[in-house]
């Protein structure tokens, strides 16, 4: 899709990946961006810079993807839609009924609204959680669905519904399977903060960064700005009815991650290891980026040291403000 002069709705646009996508959309010659968000996880602060641009507005009638009539009205006249709204992994683990309503029914509502409002293209946020633990490494998009948690199940359901709607109604879509996303605007307080933030919390308190397990668990850590770039690539591309890994293809163990954070922060404490009792965590997940590079032109550009530095600087500004 040519982005110039087009109108886009960013569902969940006040969240982590959504707000960065709004920022990068503004670098294109788009006509209008509507942010549709109920601010359950997102924040107005994430949109501070974007809202200075007159092309960006928050849909003030509502922002809940379960409010079907309001959702449909927000899509009126739009050319493309980005879907980021979802409950996160641990929330889905604790509140599966809510996870079903938001992640499954909410996605269905967005699909319905796209069909009714004749949206030209939908970019859907899926997750590497669909894969579960890696059977082969790196994982290509045809890797089996080995997921065992409810968050991953909701994303598998979303992908299957999208494919069915493409074949039934001609819904033009691309799905993106993000690896382990990190970066500025990440949740840094509350019950559902990610492993990097928990380590930085401990370091700030003069304590040891803690790892659940022996530290050999390895992941593909991808910077949020790269994820936003992938969304722009997906919207611009001619790909249809396809899913793509969004990652670096590089393996980083939790031990290596903690060592980098210790180096960047000047922490003098040793890593603390605790037994891993969580049933929601996988042990090994590195994505193959080749298909995304070839078909939608996406390549990650931010290495882990650079990305973590950006996160630490942003986080320090939030804590001190």
> What pLDDT does residue 145 have?
97
Using CA atoms, how far residue 87 sits from 18, 91, 232, 302, 319, in Å, is: 14, 6, 23, 26, 25
Q: Which pLDDT score is estimated for 188?
A: 76
- The superfamily (CATH) of domain 7-181+223-248+288-301 is NAD(P)-binding Rossmann-like Domain (3.40.50.720)
Residue 258 CA to residue 202 CA, distance in Å, equals 11
The residues that are catalytic are 151
**Mean pLDDT over the full length of the chain:** 94
What pLDDT is recorded for position 191?
59
Phi (first) and psi of residue 292, to 5 degrees? -65, -40
pTM: 0.96
How are beta strands 252-253 and 218-219 bridged, if at all? antiparallel
Closest to 221 (Cα-Cα) out of 190, 189, 258, 269: 258
Domain boundaries, the chain: 7-181+223-248+288-301
CA end-to-end span of the chain: 40
Model pLDDT, residue 278: 56
Q: What is the pLDDT of residues 285-301, one digit of tens each?
A: 999 999 999 999 999 99
The H or E element containing residue 127 is strand 121-127
How much is the pLDDT for 321?
Answer: 65
Q: How far apart are CA 63 and CA 17, in angstroms?
A: 17
Regions of the chain where pLDDT drops below 70? 190-193, 277-281, 321
Task: Give pLDDT, residue 213.
Answer: 84
| Residue 131 confidence (pLDDT) | 97
C-alpha atoms less than 13 angstroms from C-alpha of 66 in its C-beta half-sphere: 11
């Amino acid at each position: 899709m040519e982005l110039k002069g087009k109108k886009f709705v960013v569902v969940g646009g006040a969240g982590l990946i959504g707000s960065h996508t709004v920022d990068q959309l503004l670098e294109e010659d788009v006509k209008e961006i509507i942010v549709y968000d109920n601010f359950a996880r997102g924040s107005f602060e994430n949109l501070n810079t974007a809202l200075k641009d007159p092309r960006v507005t928050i849909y003030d009638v509502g922002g809940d993807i379960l409010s079907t009539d309001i959702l449909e009205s927000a899509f009126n006249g739009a050319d493309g839609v980005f879907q980021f709204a979802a409950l996160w992994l641990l929330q889905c683990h604790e509140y599966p009924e809510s996870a079903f309503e938001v992640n499954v029914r909410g996605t269905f509502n967005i699909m319905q609204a796209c069909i009714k409002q004749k949206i030209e293209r939908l970019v859907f946020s899926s997750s590497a959680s669909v894969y579960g633990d890696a059977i082969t490494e790196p994982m290509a998009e045809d890797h089996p669905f080995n997921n065992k948690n409810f968050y991953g199940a909701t994303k598998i359901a979303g992908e299957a519904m999208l494919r069915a709607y493409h074949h039934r109604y001609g819904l033009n879509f691309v799905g993106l399977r993000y690896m382990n996303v990190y970066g500025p605007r990440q949740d840094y307080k509350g019950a559902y903060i990610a492993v990097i933030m928990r380590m930085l919390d401990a370091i700030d308190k003069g304590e040891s960064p803690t790892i659940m397990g022996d530290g050999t668990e390895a992941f593909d850590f991808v910077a949020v700005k790269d994820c936003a770039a992938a969304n722009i690539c997906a919207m611009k591309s001619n790909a249809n009815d396809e899913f793509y890994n969004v990652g670096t293809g590089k393996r980083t163990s939790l031990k290596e991650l903690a060592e980098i954070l210790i180096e960047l922060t000047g922490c003098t404490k040793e890593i603390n290891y605790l037994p891993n009792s969580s049933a929601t965590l996988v042990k090994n997940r590195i994505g193959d980026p080749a298909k995304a590079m070839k078909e939608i032109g996406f390549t990650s550009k931010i290495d882990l040291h650079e990305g973590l530095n950006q996160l630490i600087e942003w986080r320090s500004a939030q804590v001190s403000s």
